[in-house]
Structure 1
Amino acid sequence: MHTILRTMGTYVTPYFDRRVFVVAILGFFCGLPLLLTGSTLAFWLAKDGVSLTKVGLIGVSSLPFTLKFLWSPLVDRVSLPILTPLLGRRKSWFFLSQVLLAILLYALGQCSPSENLFLVALLAMGVSFSAATHLIVLFAYQAERLGRTQYGAGEAMSMFGYRMGILLAGAGALYFATYLHWGTVYEIMALVEATGLIFLLIIEEPTYHPSKEALWREEKAKEYLQAHPHLAGWKASVLSWSYGAFVCPFSDFIHRHKGWLSCLVLMFVYKLGDSLIGNMTNIFYDHVGFSKQEIANASKIFGMWATIFGGFVGGILTMRWGMMKSLFYGALFHGFATFCYLFVLNAGHNMPILYLTVALEHVTGGMRVTALFAYQLTLCNTAYAATQLALLSSFVEMSRTFFSTLSGWLVDHVGWSLFYTLAAFASVPALVVVFYLASLEGASLSFWKKLPSQDP
């Protein structure tokens, strides 16, 4: 019994560390804007009379999440005037992005989508840019503030906070919209985001430990440039800094992974099905005949807890099976679960069928997201973690941006039944890429054969 309690304590104690709680709260403020430019905004547009094709096209506003790797080196290395001396290197970028989020969400609340859709799309793009920047800083903050033994607990709590933010922006927004104007709902969300500024003032700035490898590479590049008269002086300093900030993280990734291109392809296709159905889910439930409260209860609240549960299951499977096997079966199970939407369509307003579908889709979704993020961590060099994680997650977001843009057009032209059939088969490309990567690593995908414990 003593051994069991001691083992449990080993896994539970990290969750009570103050630094882990800080990461959870930061995750909340990162998660809040996501649906406010995604499915929640899509639902508002649809109820305001905007066509489904245009609703789908508004998904392009999430493009900054896809391209955040382009400016992540700047966030990692540039000091902001006034803010950085006052708050510190990481907190200053947190503060700036959060101020912009509060202002832009409030501005969205002042718009009428049916009258000025372009302005709504422009503001949504600004929200996504600020939220993507916020997420980049969170990556770096976790890496610098937490010790390696706390990464697991920190990531679990970060995702928990992230889901809480999504819950407020999803179910919370739908509940508020039942009694309030949509503009007022967005004003409330802006106020919630603004409260994070107070929290930022009281948290600690992480200690900066520059990468010795990056400094060495910059110094070598500077020496080379100084040896060429037309590149010497300030030009050498600027070019060597740019080399260390923008080139080294990506060249390091390519040189360390034989299947680096396949890894990037996997990031793009692994959540392809989610990318298709994400912004259409609320609209689909409304089409079938469910009320706002029923959608909020099933899809947002129950679905969120099902996703969190699936995340814990995914963590256990990752430890037991290894990365490749968890990625493979996570995608396979989620593909089968997506077929359940066809049962909802045929059953009509049937609450048991709705909850069963939400449970299966969200649990399997949580399983594969945990496997995917854990796999991303194994691909990254800690010297360039923020930029490389931004690169990998950008490919995931690229898929969401591209395919969510097509979702409304697909529904308009092929109908809900074929749309969800296509979404279910969208897991096939991921299965093919995982199978190839597993063959490169010599990893078994047999369902019954347990992988060796040393599999990363």
Structure 2
Amino acid sequence: MKSSKISWLSGWGQALSVFADRRAVIMFFLGFSAGIPILLIFSSLSLWLGEAGIEKKAVTFFSWAALGYSFKFVWAPLIDELPLPLLTRLLGRRRAWLLIAQLLIMTGIGIMAMTDPSQGQDSLVQMAMGAVLLGFAAATQDIVIDAYRIELAEAEMQSALAATYNAGYRIAMIVAGAGALFLASGFGSEKGHYLYSAWQSTYLIMAAVMLIGVFTTLIIREPARQRPPRPYQGTDYVRLVVVFLIAVSVFVATFIVVGRLWVIGDEANPFLLFGHEAFRIVCSISAAGLVGYLLVKAGLVNAQMAIETWVAPVKDFFSRYGMKTATLLLLLIGLYRISDIVAGVISNVFYQDMGFSKDEIATAVKVFGVVFSLAGGFLGGLMSQRFSVLKVLMLGAILSSATNLIFIGFSNAGHSLPWLYFAIVADNLASGLAGAAFIAFLSSLTSVSFTAVQYAIFSSLMTLIPKVIGGYSGTIVDSAGYPNFFLFTALIGVPVLLLIVLVQRQLAQHSSTST
């Protein structure tokens, strides 16, 4: 009995020791850099827009500015393939792209800081442009950091790297969330007493905080586990970028044209609105893909290079797992965080509607909540070191869906600090645990030969459907009320449980047939 207890303690001690590794520390600081932009597009921006008098529907539509996170798989191959003049030679492939992304993030935050959204439609358009640039640059930074993490260490250590990355990410969320709210409040802006200069100063300070990420990029080393460079000329890469830019232009143009041809009012049923936007996205992706295919066939870009860039990573994934298992894996990836993300889009607006002040939200949500999110992430990483990742995923999925039911009671209770803290603790603990386990799971599915591309595909799928639905969260709340909205977010997480069971069975069969 004593021997088994010592063995048990030794196992947990080994699991804990990996968190002190130098590579885990690196991922902590890179996680911090990745965590700064997201709330500046979502919750902090939603409070800014709310104070500026922008209506609720328009506030939640701004969450679409972060759809760059959901489509980053489109340009992730360029990050894998394209060397940057001078910078790649000086810093290496990963660090060069990381530095560029971080400088663009600072530029996007700066554009938003120099825009007063209360000054009319033109100002809102400029704010949207800054938010889109911020979303694009932040998604690019994520592509590079994810690839860097996977190349930095073996698969057995990925759960620990995911946990320390998550810890840095969550601490950055305190800075960009609670820190931004405290700063804006301290500079004099409140609901009912909007002051643009307060938010301007706040966002400029957030841009300066990104220098921590820049400094980290400059002092770390390139990862050792990299695939050999491709045998292509500089002109091949230029032509590849041209094809990509043309395809992106076609996507944007098609999205605008289809929206003008099929107009639907904001007062329509939320599910019809979602179907409308889904149709526009499908049409736009199809048009961009068709144009890209025709340009490749016409010889504008090296056909073999195009295949290796966009087709080979997908083919590799389906070849390794088979059609059935790969399809189930993609479904699980696309739906796993749906309850969490859809509910999170409108969370700050919900707290405001419950009568909480910005300081109360900052203290409870952005500090207290993030501490428990850190605890959940650490617990998720530790459990993933000791147990099957899929078992931890199941626990995370159950908790993520169930905690949304707490918000139904919260919405009925109204302005209640005990309900606020209870909901925040449960929600963030579940989110942190599920997030750390899910990052480790996605990393285990990725081939080192296509690190950036495959992980970008996975993480894009993870956010695409939830963010599109989340863009209509304000509309759903207006039509159905908060209790029904939170019931909806809990129920859409139930199919995820079945998917985890099916994936577990398929992976077991795949493992037995391949050995």
TM-score class normalised by the smaller sequence: 0.7 to 0.9
Shift of 1:254: 1.4
Shift of 1:4: 7.9
Structure 2 counterparts to residues 296-315 of structure 1, below 5 A: 296-315=362-381
1:51 lines up with 2:58 in the alignment: no
Q: Name the CA shift for 1:438/1:26 in 2 (closer, same or farther; >3 Å).
A: closer
> Using the alignment, how far apart are the partners of 2:493 and 2:8 within structure 1?
39
Match of 2:200 in 1: 183
Q: Which runs of 4+ in 1 moved over 4 A?
A: 1-9, 316-321
- Paired letter, 1:78: L
Match of 2:237 in 1: none
Match of 2:150 in 1: 143
Match of 2:37 in 1: 33
Q: Name the CA shift for 1:11/1:275 in 2 (closer, same or farther; >3 Å).
A: closer
> Using the alignment, how far apart are the partners of 2:214 and 2:384 within structure 1?
36
- Checking the alignment, whether the CA contact within 8 Å between 1:42 and 1:279 is kept in structure 2 is no
Over the residues paired in the alignment, what is the CA RMSD in angstroms?
A: 2.5
> Using the alignment, how far apart are the partners of 2:100 and 2:156 within structure 1?
30
Structure 2 SS opposite 1:289 = coil
- Paired letter, 1:278: G
Write out per-residue CA displacement over residues 202-225 of structure 1, whole angstroms, 9 at most, x where no aligned residue: 22223363269x99xxxxxxxxxx
Match of 1:198 in 2: 215
- Paired letter, 2:153: L
Q: Name the CA shift for 1:189/1:195 in 2 (closer, same or farther; >3 Å).
A: same
TM-score for both structures, normalised by structure 2: 0.76
Which of 101, 105, 128 in structure 2 is aligned with 1:121? 128
- Paired letter, 2:83: S
Structure 2 SS opposite 1:210 = coil
Match of 1:292 in 2: 358
Q: Name the CA shift for 1:338/1:186 in 2 (closer, same or farther; >3 Å).
A: same
Q: Name the CA shift for 1:427/1:122 in 2 (closer, same or farther; >3 Å).
A: same
Shift of 1:155: 2.0
Which of 140, 160, 164 in structure 2 is aligned with 1:157? 164
- Checking the alignment, whether the CA contact within 8 Å between 2:167 and 2:378 is kept in structure 1 is no
Q: Name the CA shift for 1:327/1:154 in 2 (closer, same or farther; >3 Å).
A: closer
Long gaps (5+) in structure 1? 216-234, 444-456
Structure 2 SS opposite 1:275 = helix
Long gaps (5+) in structure 2? 188-197, 232-298, 510-515
- Checking the alignment, whether the CA contact within 8 Å between 1:271 and 1:399 is kept in structure 2 is no
Shift of 1:51: 0.8
TM-score for both structures, normalised by structure 1: 0.86
Match of 2:116 in 1: 112
Shift of 1:70: 1.0
Match of 1:92 in 2: 96
> Using the alignment, how far apart are the partners of 1:95 and 1:262 within structure 2?
36
User: Share of identical aligned residues, percent?
Assistant: 32
> Using the alignment, how far apart are the partners of 1:344 and 1:425 within structure 2?
17
> Using the alignment, how far apart are the partners of 1:415 and 1:384 within structure 2?
44
Shift of 1:147: 4.4
Greater shift in the superposed pair: 390-399 or 111-120: 111-120
What is the aligned residue count?
423
Match of 1:333 in 2: 399
- Paired letter, 1:207: A
> Using the alignment, how far apart are the partners of 2:394 and 2:14 within structure 1?
30
Which of 210, 218, 231 in structure 1 is aligned with 2:227? 210
Structure 2 SS opposite 1:339 = helix
Shift of 1:268: 1.9
Structure 2 counterparts to residues 247-262 of structure 1, below 5 A: 247-257=311-321, 258-262=324-328
Q: Name the CA shift for 1:325/1:153 in 2 (closer, same or farther; >3 Å).
A: closer
Match of 1:398 in 2: 464
Shift of 1:81: 1.1
> Using the alignment, how far apart are the partners of 1:328 and 1:141 within structure 2?
27
